[in-house]
Chain A
Amino acid sequence: MMRLPRFRYLAPASLLEAVKVLGDLGPEALPLAGGTDLVPNMKRRQQTPANLVGLRGVAELRAVSGDAARGLTLGAMTRLAEVERGAVAAGWPALARAAATVATPAIRNTATLGGNLCLDTRCSYYDQTEEWRRSIGYCMKREGETCWVAPGSDRCWAVSSSDTAPVLCALGAEVTLRSRGGERRIPAADLFADDGIRHLTRRPDELLTAVHLPPVEPGQRTVYLKLRRRGSFDFPVLGVAGRVRLSAGGTVESARIFLGAVGSRPQEARAAADFLVGRRLGDEETVREASRLATQIAKPMQNTDLTLGWRKGVAREYAARALRELGS
Chain B
Amino acid sequence: MEAPLVTLQSGPREKLRLAFAVNGEERELLVEPYKTLLEVLREDLGLTGTKHGCELGECGACAVLLDGELALSCLVPAVECGGRAVTTIEGLRDGPELHPLQAAFADHGAAQCGYCTPGMIVAARWLLDRKPDATRQEIADALAGQLCRCTGYQQIYEAVESAGRVLRGLPPLPPVVAAVHGEEPHGR
Instruction: Tell yes or no: A302 within 8 A of B by CB.
Output: no
Neighbouring B residues of A52 by C-beta, 8 Å: 33, 77
- Using A8-B10, A110-B66 as known contacts, list a sample of 4 further A-B pairs with CB atoms less than 8 Å apart, ordered by residue number in A: A103-B145, A105-B123, A106-B71, A109-B71
Bound-complex Cα distance A221 to B70 (A): 32
**Of the residues A12, A103, A110, contact of B7 by C-beta under 8 Å:** A12
Instruction: Tell yes or no: B181 within 8 A of A by CB.
Output: no
Bound-complex Cα distance A4 to B36 (A): 8
Of the A-B pairs whose beta carbons lie under 8 Å apart in the complex, a sample of 7, sorted by A's number, is A6-B33, A8-B33, A16-B3, A106-B57, A106-B72, A106-B123, A232-B144
A-B contact count (CB 8 A): 124
Q: Is the CB of B72 within 8 A of A54?
A: no
* Interface membership of chain A positions 227-247, coded 1 if the CB is closer than 8 angstroms to chain B and 0 otherwise: 000001100000000000000
Q: Which residue of B lies closest to A100 (CB)?
A: B141
Asked whether A9 and B72 contact (CB < 8 A) given A3-B34, A4-B36, A104-B60, the answer is no
Shortest distance from the beta carbon of A235 to any chain B beta carbon, whole Å: 11
Question: Which residues of B are interface residues toward A (Cβ below 8 A)?
Answer: 2-3, 5-13, 16, 32-36, 39, 52, 55-58, 60, 63, 66, 69-72, 74-77, 79-80, 123, 126, 141-142, 144-145
* Interface membership of chain A positions 1-33, coded 1 if the CB is closer than 8 angstroms to chain B and 0 otherwise: 111111111111110110011000000000010
Question: Which residues of A are interface residues toward B (Cβ below 8 A)?
Answer: 1-14, 16-17, 20-21, 32, 35-36, 39-40, 43-44, 50, 52, 54, 56-57, 81, 103-107, 109-110, 232-233
Bound-complex Cα distance A103 to B79 (A): 24
**Of the residues A9, A57, A105, contact of B141 by C-beta under 8 Å:** A105
Bound-complex Cα distance A16 to B11 (A): 22
Q: Is the CB of A107 within 8 A of B13?
A: no
Q: Which residue of A lies closest to B16 (CB)?
A: A9
Q: Is the CB of B145 within 8 A of A1?
A: no
Shortest distance from the beta carbon of B34 to any chain A beta carbon, whole Å: 4
Q: Is the CB of A104 within 8 A of B144?
A: yes
What are the 9 A-B residue pairs with the smallest beta carbon separation, nearest first?
A: A104-B145, A232-B144, A9-B33, A6-B12, A40-B56, A11-B8, A4-B34, A10-B9, A106-B70
Neighbouring A residues of B11 by C-beta, 8 Å: 8
Neighbouring B residues of A16 by C-beta, 8 Å: 3
Q: Is the CB of A4 within 8 A of B57?
A: no
Neighbouring B residues of A36 by C-beta, 8 Å: 57, 72, 75
Q: Is the CB of A32 within 8 A of B77?
A: yes
Q: Is the CB of B144 within 8 A of A110?
A: no
Bound-complex Cα distance A143 to B7 (A): 32
**Of the residues A9, A17, A35, A103, contact of B76 by C-beta under 8 Å:** A35
Neighbouring B residues of A14 by C-beta, 8 Å: 3
**Of the residues B9, B70, B80, contact of A35 by C-beta under 8 Å:** B80
Asked whether A21 and B7 contact (CB < 8 A) given A35-B80, A110-B76, the answer is yes
Shortest distance from the beta carbon of B53 to any chain A beta carbon, whole Å: 11
Shortest distance from the beta carbon of A131 to any chain B beta carbon, whole Å: 14
Q: Is the CB of A11 within 8 A of B145?
A: no
Neighbouring B residues of A56 by C-beta, 8 Å: 80
Neighbouring A residues of B69 by C-beta, 8 Å: 81, 109
Neighbouring A residues of B72 by C-beta, 8 Å: 36, 106-107, 110
Q: Is the CB of A35 within 8 A of B77?
A: yes
Shortest distance from the beta carbon of B14 to any chain A beta carbon, whole Å: 9
Bound-complex Cα distance A17 to B4 (A): 8
Q: Is the CB of A20 within 8 A of B145?
A: no
Bound-complex Cα distance A303 to B52 (A): 29
Q: Which residue of B lies closest to A10 (CB)?
A: B9
Neighbouring B residues of A233 by C-beta, 8 Å: 58, 144-145
Q: Is the CB of A35 within 8 A of B141?
A: no
Q: Is the CB of B56 within 8 A of A4?
A: no
Q: Is the CB of A54 within 8 A of B12?
A: no
**Of the residues B55, B58, B66, B79, contact of A54 by C-beta under 8 Å:** B79
Neighbouring B residues of A11 by C-beta, 8 Å: 7-9, 79-80
Neighbouring B residues of A40 by C-beta, 8 Å: 55-57, 75
Q: Which residue of A lies closest to B8 (CB)?
A: A11
Q: Which residue of A lies closest to B55 (CB)?
A: A2
Shortest distance from the beta carbon of A285 to any chain B beta carbon, whole Å: 36
Q: Is the CB of A8 within 8 A of B9?
A: yes
Bound-complex Cα distance A36 to B145 (A): 13
Bound-complex Cα distance A252 to B52 (A): 52
Shortest distance from the beta carbon of A246 to any chain B beta carbon, whole Å: 31
Asked whether A232 and B36 contact (CB < 8 A) given A2-B55, A32-B77, A36-B57, the answer is no
Neighbouring A residues of B141 by C-beta, 8 Å: 105, 232
Neighbouring A residues of B70 by C-beta, 8 Å: 105-106, 109
